[in-house]
Chains A and B, each alone.
Chain A
Amino acid sequence: MAVSEGSFKESRLEVAGATIQMRTAGEGRPLLLLHGELGFPGWMNYHKTLSASRKVYAPSHPGYDESQGIDWMMQVRDLAGWYLEALDDMDLDDIDLIGFSFGGWIAAEMAVMDPSKFRNLALVAPTGVKPDEGEIYDIFLNLAPDYLKEAIHDSNSCAEFELICPEEPSPEMLELWEIGREQSCKLGWKPYMYSLSLKHLLHRLKNLNTLIVWGREDKIVPIDSGRIYQESIPGSVMQVMENVGHRPEIENPDEFSKLITTFLDSK
C-alpha cells in the first residue's frame, strides 16, 4: 500500500495519566517508534516506508515536544515503565518496537521489563550501556545543531539533513530542541546516557527477536556499545550499515527501511 507524503494522523492522546502527542499512519501490525534525545524528528522517509506495510505509532515521549511532562520521571526506567502502562491503555500487545538512540535505550528498558509484550525489537544505535571503548558524545555540552552535524556522517549527500537540521532553524524548532535536551537531561545526565544495570538485565531478551543496527561511522554512540548489546542479548543480530553515522534512518532511509522490513517480516 503506497502512502503519500504527509498522510499521517496527529492527535493528542490521553494515556497512562498524561496527554501526549501521537502520530499514526498505515494499517496492519502495530509498530511503535521511539524517538531520540531531541524529540520527534519530523515525518521522514523511513516513517513513510514503514507505514506502507504496518500501522506506525510515533509518539513524543512525555516531556518532549508538546507532550506533557511527568514530574516523577527521573530515570529512563521510569519512562519505560510509563510506556508499558501506556501500551496497556492503548490495548497494544505483541507489537514491534524500534528505538532510536536515546529512544533505543527506552525500548531496551521496556523490553527487559516485559519481553512478552513485544514480537520484535530493533535498537538503532541505542544509548543505555557504557562502551568499553570510546565515550558517548556529550549532547549537553554541545548545541543541538552541532550535535546533529556530528550525528550525520556525510550531510552533503544526506537528502533529509536539511529537514532535521536546517541552515536557519525556526524559533519553534530551536525551542523544541531545547525542550528535548532539557527532558533528556532530566533522565540521562548522570550516569551520562547509560544505566549501570541494563546490560545485566538484557539477558531477559533471550527469546525476543532482536536486531541491533549501527552506522559504521557513528561518532555519537561508540559501536562498542553495539557489541555489548549484541553479546548481552542471546540470539540477537547486529547489522552495521556502511557510510552512515549515528542516524542510519536519516542518512540511508532506503537501506535502513529494507533492513527493518526484512527483519520485522521474518517473524
Chain B
Amino acid sequence: MFIGHFTERPYQDPDSGYFGATGLPIKDLSLSNEIYDPILGSALYNRYLDEKVYAEEMGFDGLMLNEHHSTPFCMGGAMNVEASILARITKKAKIVLLGNILPIWDDPLWLVEQLAMIDMISKGRLVSGWVRGTGRESVSHNAPPAYNWERFQEAHDFIVKAWSEPGPFRWEGKHYQYRYVNPWMRPYQKPHPQIMLPGVVSRDSIVWAAKQRIPYIMLATQLEPTRQSFQVYHDTAKEEGYEAGSQNFGYLWKVHVDETEELAEEVARKFVQGPSNPFLAGNEGTANPALLKLPGLTSRRRVLPTANVATANRGGQLSRSFEEQVEDYTIISGTPKTVIPKIRHVLEYLRPGSVFFWDGDGAMTHDDQMRSLRLMGEEVIPAVREIADELELRSPFEVSPKTGEPIGETSEEAAVPTGD
C-alpha cells in the first residue's frame, strides 16, 4: 500500500470569506487577480510546504501535488517549482505529481528537463503523473482543446523516449517537432520515474492507461461509479492479455482525522466551505458551462461513469450536502477510531494499491491540518498498512504495474536507492 497526502493548496483569503461557499464566488474565468495579495500568497506557499514536510515525518509515503491555472482553489500553477523545493527539503517520501498537464505545453522538452532534475535532486523520488487538464488550463495557456488528447499522447511518447533513450534524436511529430533532442540530464530512476494517470471523466484516458499499464488514480468521486470506471481498466487489461491488480489503481478522497468527533466534524465541514474545485464531488463553486463544453476537450461520447459527478454545473450549490457526502464516504472524518473502519470499507470496495488522503483544504487552517497529520501518523497510517496487508493491496512500488511481478532487489524498477 502506498499512502499519499494531498491538499489542493487553496488561496485562502479570510478577508474575502475564503472564496467559494462562504465568500466571493469562484466561477471560472470570472475573478480578477487584482485582489491577489502576494503577502498572503507567500505565507500560504510556505505553510503548504511545511505541511508536506510534516506529512513526511508522520510517515506518508507520498507527497502529492497538482496543478491548476487561473483559479483560487489551487495555488499550484507551477507545481514543478513546489516539487523542486520538496526534492531538496524532504528525504524519504515520494514526490507525486498528479500531474503535469501535458497538452498545454508547447515545448514538452521543458518537462523532460525539469522532471529529470527533480528526480535527480530528490535521488529518485519522483512519481510523474500526467493529466489532460480541465478547460481552464487549456484557456489559460491557450492550448487548443480540440487537440488535447492528441497532444497528450504525443507529449507522453516524446517525454518517455527522451528519458529512456540516448540522444541526440529527432522528433518529427504532428504537434511537436525537434531537430536536436539531447537534454543534458537523465532521470535518476531507470528507465524513468513511475508514471501515473489521475482522472475523472475520460474513458479514452483510462483505456489508454490500461493499455500502457500505467496506474490510474481516480480523483474524489463516489465509490460506485469509481468501481465501475475501474472495471473499464480491468476489461481493457483483459483485452491486452494481462490481469490488472491493486498496483494499477489508486483512489484520492477526503479524509480528515481529529482529536474528538465534534472537532472532526467541525473541521471537516470546512472542506466544503472554502475555495474548492467545482469539478470534484461535493465541492462548492460554479463551473463555467462554456469551459465544461470547451470544444473537443473530452470526447462527448466516451466518458466514464464518474463523469456526471465531475461535470455537473452546480450553479454555486453543493450537489450533495455535507451529510450526504459523509454518508457515502466521499468525506471521511472522525477520530482515528471511527475513521479507520471507514477507510477499510473503501479499501475493500475499490481495492486500490495507492490511496491519497485529501486533507487541509477548503477553509481548514494550518492547525487543523497539523493535528490531522499527527493523528494520521500516530494511528491511521499504521492501521491502514495492516488492513492493506490483510487485503493484499500492493502498490506500484511493490508490484510492478508493467509486469504484475513483485519488485525485487534485482529488478530494474527497484535498482534505484531512494533517499539517503
Contact = CB atoms under 8 A, between A and B. Distances in A.
A223 B294 CA distance: 27
Interface stretch (B139-147, B205-213, B316-324, B365-373): B139-147
Contact of A178 (B29, B291, B300): B300
A183 B290 CA distance: 16
B295 interface: yes
B290 A142 contact: yes
Contacts of A189: 142, 144-146
Contacts of B293: 143, 178
B29 A181 contact: no
Contacts of B408: none
A182 B290 contact: no
Nearest to B289: A143
Contacts of A140: 145, 290, 294-295
Contacts of B289: 143
Given A181-B296, A185-B145, A185-B146, 16 more contacts: A140-B290, A140-B295, A141-B139, A141-B290, A143-B290, A143-B293, A146-B290, A178-B293, A178-B295, A178-B300, A181-B295, A183-B146, A186-B144, A186-B147, A189-B146, A190-B142
Contacts of A210: none
A184 B145 CA distance: 11
A143 B288 CA distance: 10
A185 B290 CA distance: 14
Contacts of A143: 289-290, 293
Interface of A: 140-143, 146, 175, 178, 181-186, 189-190
Interface in B113-151: 139, 142, 144-147
B173 to A, nearest CB: 13
A182 B296 contact: yes
Interface string B278-305: 0000000000011101111000100000
Contact of B296 (A142, A175, A186, A190): A186
A146 B290 CA distance: 10
B295 A184 contact: yes
B142 A186 contact: no
24 contacts: A140-B145, A140-B294, A141-B29, A141-B290, A141-B294, A142-B290, A143-B289, A143-B290, A143-B293, A146-B290, A178-B293, A181-B295, A182-B295, A183-B146, A184-B295, A185-B144, A185-B146, A185-B295, A186-B144, A186-B146, A189-B145, A189-B146, A190-B142, A190-B144
Main SS at interface, chain A: helix
Contacts of B290: 140-143, 146
A79 B289 CA distance: 30
A182 B145 CA distance: 8
Interface string B11-43: 000000000000000000100000000000000
B78 to A, nearest CB: 21
Contacts of A183: 146
Question: How big is chain B's contact interface, by range?
Answer: 10 to 19
Nearest to A180: B295
Contacts of A185: 144-146, 295-296
A143 B295 CA distance: 10
A182 B291 CA distance: 13
Nearest to B29: A141
B18 to A, nearest CB: 26
B204 to A, nearest CB: 15
A185 B139 CA distance: 12
Interface in B242-298: 289-291, 293-296
Chain A CB within 10 Å — which of B139, B144, B147, B300 has the most? Answer: B144
Contacts of B294: 140-141
Contacts of B144: 185-186, 189-190
Contacts of B139: 141
Contacts of A181: 295-296
Chain A CB within 10 Å — which of B29, B142, B146 has the most? Answer: B146
A9 B139 CA distance: 40
A178 B290 CA distance: 11
A134 B53 CA distance: 49
Contacts of B147: 186
A186 B145 CA distance: 8
Contacts of A182: 146, 295-296
8 closest cross-chain pairs (CB), A and B? A181-B295, A182-B296, A185-B146, A189-B144, A185-B295, A182-B295, A186-B146, A182-B146
B300 to A, nearest CB: 6
Contacts of A175: 300
A143 B292 CA distance: 10
Interface string B184-205: 0000000000000000000000
Chain A CB within 10 Å — which of B29, B289, B296 has the most? Answer: B296
B106 to A, nearest CB: 10
Nearest to A183: B146
Contacts of A142: 290
A17 to B, nearest CB: 18
A175 B29 CA distance: 25
Contacts of B291: 141
A182 B300 CA distance: 11
